Amino acid sequence: MLEESSMTWTGCEETTWWLTWALRQEATQIRLADALTDNEPASQIIEYMIADIQPNVAGRVRAELSELPEATVFAMLAAWRQAFDGGKPFEVASARPVELMGTARRRSVRLVVDVNEAGVRAELSHIETRHPRWARSAADAIHLRRVGSLG
């Protein structure tokens, strides 16, 4: 059972650190900018995001991004694009939900984007596997695009 008082570390810090690192790499930035311009599917964009991450970590980052609602992933990318186009740094951070139990009950995923003179910071707050059932995840979007391309 989750207890709000015992939850201080979000569990996603390593993932967000590696994702921030990857998004600061020139090769990743070029791939992502081209992919977003070409309106590529979430599946390919996620692969571009993790291409330069160490293989033993890349799978975890892929899994975490894939379970998020597709809208959250694309909102994060829009924030990254704003920073990239402005020549400013971008950071993804994990934020502990303010109300841990309420967030889990509501199956809430929150992305807060702070755009300021120094750059852009996107704070993701969620409970792993506790996302809205109705919201299409990046993984579902990947599956639907694959199925759709067969017919």
Q: What is the pTM of this model?
A: 0.76
Does the pLDDT value for residue 63 go beyond 50? yes
The tens digit of pLDDT for each residue in 3-57 reads 333 334 446 788 889 999 999 999 999 999 999 999 888 888 999 999 999 998 9
Does the pLDDT value for residue 133 go beyond 70? no
* Contacts for 53-62: CB closer than 8 Å, 24+ residues apart: 53/18, 53/19, 53/21, 53/22, 54/18, 57/14, 57/15, 57/18, 60/14, 60/15, 61/15, 61/18, 61/19, 61/22
User: Hey, which of 12-26, 103-117, 127-141 has the most confident mean pLDDT?
Assistant: 12-26
Average pLDDT on 86-91 reads 96
More confident residue, 133 or 90: 90
Are 84 and 29 in contact by the 8 Å Cβ rule? The answer is: yes
User: Residue 43's pLDDT is what?
Assistant: 81
Does the pLDDT value for residue 83 go beyond 60? yes
User: Residue 101's pLDDT is what?
Assistant: 64
CB contact burial 116-132 (16+ within 10 A = b; e otherwise): eeeebbbbbbbbeebbe
Query: How much of the chain exceeds pLDDT 90, in percent?
Result: 40
The rounded Cα 109 to chain-centroid distance in angstroms is 11
Does the pLDDT value for residue 143 go beyond 70? no
Which helix (H) or strand (E) is 67 found in, with range? Answer: helix 55-67
User: Residue 135's pLDDT is what?
Assistant: 52
